[in-house]
């Protein structure tokens, strides 16, 4: 009797739209092409792999989840030491426990879905001897080796919708509205949403901003009869003064900051410099919630089925990505090697400048 092909699925890190669509793509494709697939869903990310907490998944578990947000398996963030170890709740090396679950279930492959940090930690699983295939999910779109990640377009749609609605109240009261969007290290989400929604100022981590120049841009708008301003700010935006600090000095400065987030600091400074009332909107985790948009449903399904094909072909150690419209395997060591920041010469930055969006510099 032919041995079953046994697969574990892990959804790790922050949730986002499209995870269930990707889970569905993996499961349906494996059951479609294999007569003897066995799939185990690990509960709450790496925790399930560490503690041996999992669900044996049947074909019906992959039905009716395409449009669901979040992940049916649950997720969590696992501490890890970059390039060295994944840690359990007690701060101990979790690899022996993870390897024990992997071996006890006699898994042929582990499919790990996650963001930038998860790609790096998944590489540690490969180094430990596990067969791994990863899928890139994050609303930040900052994973190297793929043009886009699933979850990103859904978040852009939500962030754009938020700013669309802010326009009317901002114009009614002639205020400055600072809308803080997610993106700790990379500005993809804020730039896309800013261009799509007609924001007037877009501040992203890759381009340190000069608050006085931002105030001057707002004043210039007023002189032209445009009495309100929408400022889209990535949560990781940094001023020209903070940009020259070391990472440690920047952390200390942030701890001493009297404002809860960067957007409140910017709003306060703009009120002082411009004399115009400023308000803040922070949609926060709202950007990661709800059903995936059609684009992400399709992309996540493509990623999931591509992972299944690699499993069937016994090709491991890859992340599934999209490059130039084609779904391709990317060596995991490449995907985990760096963060995909928004290049300062990116065509969308040029487009933003061409239509008069001020980028803070």
Any idea which residue has 């503690």 for tokens?
51
Q: Which residues of 66-95 are buried (b: 16+ CB within 10 A; e: fewer)?
A: bebbbbbbbbbebebeeeebbbbeeeeebb
Q: Could you give the CA distance from residue 176 to residue 267 in angstroms, rounded to a whole number? A: 8
**What's the half-sphere exposure (Cβ side, CA atoms, 13 Å) at 130?**
32
Nearest CA-CA partner of 300 in 96, 91, 111: 111
- Residue 291: count of CB within 10 angstroms of its CB: 17
Any idea which residue has 């092909």 for tokens?
5
**What's the half-sphere exposure (Cβ side, CA atoms, 13 Å) at 149?**
31
Give the CA angle between residues 41, 142, 186 to the nearest 5°. 135
For residue 361, give every residue at least 6 positions away whose Cβ sits within 8 Å of its Cβ, in sequence order, or none: 207, 208, 209, 210, 213, 240
Q: Is 45 helix (H, G, I), strand (E, B) or coil?
A: coil
What Rg value do the Cα atoms of the chain yield, rounded? Answer: 22
- Token reading at 318: 């890859």
Of 15, 44, 88, 140, the active-site residue reads 140
Quick check: 352 and 195 in contact, CB under 8 A?
A: yes
Quick check: 11 and 75 in contact, CB under 8 A?
A: yes
H-helix segments, the chain = 19-33, 46-51, 95-104, 116-127, 152-173, 188-197, 211-223, 240-243, 247-256, 262-274, 294-312, 332-335, 347-354
Give the CA angle between residues 149, 341, 215 to the nearest 5°. 115
Let me know if 140 is a catalytic residue. yes
Longest dimension (CA), the chain: 80
Q: Would you name the residues annotated as active-site residues? A: 140
């Amino acid at each position: 009797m032919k041995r079953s092909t046994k697969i574990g699925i892990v959804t790790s890190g922050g949730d986002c739209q499209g995870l269930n669509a990707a889970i569905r793509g993996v499961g349906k494709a494996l059951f479609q092409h294999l007569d003897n697939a066995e799939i185990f869903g690990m509960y709450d990310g790496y925790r399930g792999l560490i503690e041996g907490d999992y669900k044996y998944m049947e074909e019906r578990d992959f039905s009716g989840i395409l449009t669901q947000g979040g992940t049916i398996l649950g997720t969590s963030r696992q501490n890890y030491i970059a390039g060295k170890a994944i840690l359990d709740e007690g701060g101990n090396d979790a690899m022996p426990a993870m390897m024990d679950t992997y071996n006890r279930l006699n898994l042929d492959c582990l499919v790990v879905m996650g963001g930038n940090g998860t790609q790096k930690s998944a590489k540690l699983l490969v180094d430990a001897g596990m067969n791994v295939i990863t899928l890139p999910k994050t609303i930040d779109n900052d994973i190297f080796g793929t043009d886009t990640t699933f979850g990103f377009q859904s978040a852009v749609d939500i962030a754009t919708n938020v700013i669309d609605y802010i326009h009317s109240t901002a114009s009614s009261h002639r205020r400055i509205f600072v809308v803080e969007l997610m993106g700790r290290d990379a500005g993809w989400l804020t730039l896309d949403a800013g261009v799509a929604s007609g924001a007037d100022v877009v501040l992203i981590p890759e381009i340190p901003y000069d608050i006085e120049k931002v105030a001057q841009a707002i004043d210039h708008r007023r002189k032209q009869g445009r009495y309100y301003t929408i400022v889209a700010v990535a949560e990781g935006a940094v001023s020209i003064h903070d940009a020259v600090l070391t990472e440690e000095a920047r952390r200390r400065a942030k701890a001493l900051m009297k404002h809860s987030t960067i957007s409140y600091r910017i709003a306060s400074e703009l009120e002082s410099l411009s004399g115009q009332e400023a308000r803040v909107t922070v949609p926060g985790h709202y950007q990661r919630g709800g059903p995936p948009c059609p684009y992400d449903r399709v992309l996540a399904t493509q990623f999931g089925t591509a992972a299944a094909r690699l499993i069937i072909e016994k090709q491991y150690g890859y992340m599934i990505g999209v490059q130039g419209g084609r779904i391709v395997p990317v060596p995991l060591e490449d995907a985990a090697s760096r963060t995909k920041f928004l290049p300062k010469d990116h065509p969308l930055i040029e487009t933003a400048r061409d239509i008069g969006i001020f980028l803070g510099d």
